[in-house]
């Protein structure tokens, strides 16, 4: 059995219908799921932008200096704090990794690229109990999902990365 915690119209209206999901509210939802005995928490929310809507630019920061929650606005900092407090004994948290399709500027070849999140420098690549996964799936011409895409290959800043599917991590 599983439960889905969805943001309904009433909650969305209570939040004043923001373009960006309020991070402090998202942190509360994660804490609620943890306290309620969830075995797995999947957060299917766009996390590439800051609470104020500005895009995170990985190249803008000093890669030798780790990011801290103090650099973030209060909502983003609260979400980062909840995620960094994750223990290996806590239910795993799977975050949706945003992957975009682009074209290589030199060759014109299609390319899939990881869109970085403001959480990347805070969580790092191996934070215990927090995982990034691809929420993408294939739909046949008749609009039916018949097979899962177990991973996505996408370019990050320096490498090609294999990003596991949410479904794959959920059963792991």
Per residue in 73-99, pLDDT (tens digit) is 899 999 999 999 888 788 999 999 999
Nearest to 20 by CA among 43, 42, 44, 52: 52
Q: What is the pLDDT of residue 21?
A: 92
Whether the per-residue pLDDT at 60 is higher than 50: the answer is no
Burial zone of 31 (CB within 10 Å; 0-12 exposed, 13-18 middle, 19+ buried): middle
Query: Residue 38: pLDDT band by 50, 70, 90 thresholds?
Result: very high
**Which carries the bigger pLDDT value, residue 76 or residue 4?**
76
7-11, 41-45, 64-68, 111-115: lowest mean pLDDT where?
Answer: 64-68
| The two three-digit tokens of residue 45, written as one number | 């929310």
Q: What is the pLDDT of residue 27?
A: 96
The answer to whether the CB of 29 falls within 8 A of the CB of 5 is yes
Whether the per-residue pLDDT at 12 is higher than 80: the answer is yes
Compute CA 122 distance to the chain's CA centroid, rounded to the nearest angstrom: 13
Average pLDDT taken over every residue of the chain? 86
To which residue do tokens 């500005």 refer? 54
User: Any long-range contacts for 145-153 (C-beta under 8 Å, 24+ apart)?
Assistant: 152/99, 152/112, 153/112
Mean pLDDT along residues 4-17:
88
What single-letter DSSP state applies at residue 54? Answer: P
**Which carries the bigger pLDDT value, residue 119 or residue 62?**
119
User: ∠ CA(17), CA(42), CA(163), 5° rounding?
Assistant: 110
- 53 sits in the region (left: phi over 0; alpha: psi -120 to 50; else beta) called left
| The two three-digit tokens of residue 80, written as one number | 């980062």
Instruction: Specify the pTM.
Output: 0.84
| The two three-digit tokens of residue 150, written as one number | 């177990």
Task: Tell me how crowded residue 113 is: count the other CB atoms within 10 A of its CB.
Answer: 16
Give, to the nearest 10 degrees, the angle between helix 74-84 and helix 23-35: 30
């Amino acid at each position: 059995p599983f439960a889905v915690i969805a943001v309904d119209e009433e909650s969305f209206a209570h939040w004043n219908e923001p373009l960006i999901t309020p991070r402090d509210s998202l942190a509360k939802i994660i804490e609620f799921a943890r306290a309620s005995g969830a075995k797995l928490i999947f957060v299917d929310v766009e996390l590439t932008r800051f609470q104020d809507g500005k895009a995170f630019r990985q190249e803008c920061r000093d890669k030798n200096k780790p990011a801290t929650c103090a650099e973030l606005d209060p909502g983003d900092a609260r979400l980062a704090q909840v995620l960094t407090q994750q223990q290996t004994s806590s239910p795993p948290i799977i975050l949706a990794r945003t992957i975009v399709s682009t074209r290589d500027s030199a060759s014109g070849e299609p390319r899939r690229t990881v869109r970085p999140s403001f959480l990347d420098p805070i969580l790092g690549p191996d934070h215990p109990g927090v995982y990034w996964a691809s929420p993408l799936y294939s739909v046949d011409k008749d609009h039916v999902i018949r097979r899962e895409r177990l991973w996505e290959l996408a370019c990050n800043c320096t490498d090609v990365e294999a990003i596991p599917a949410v479904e794959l991590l959920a059963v792991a």
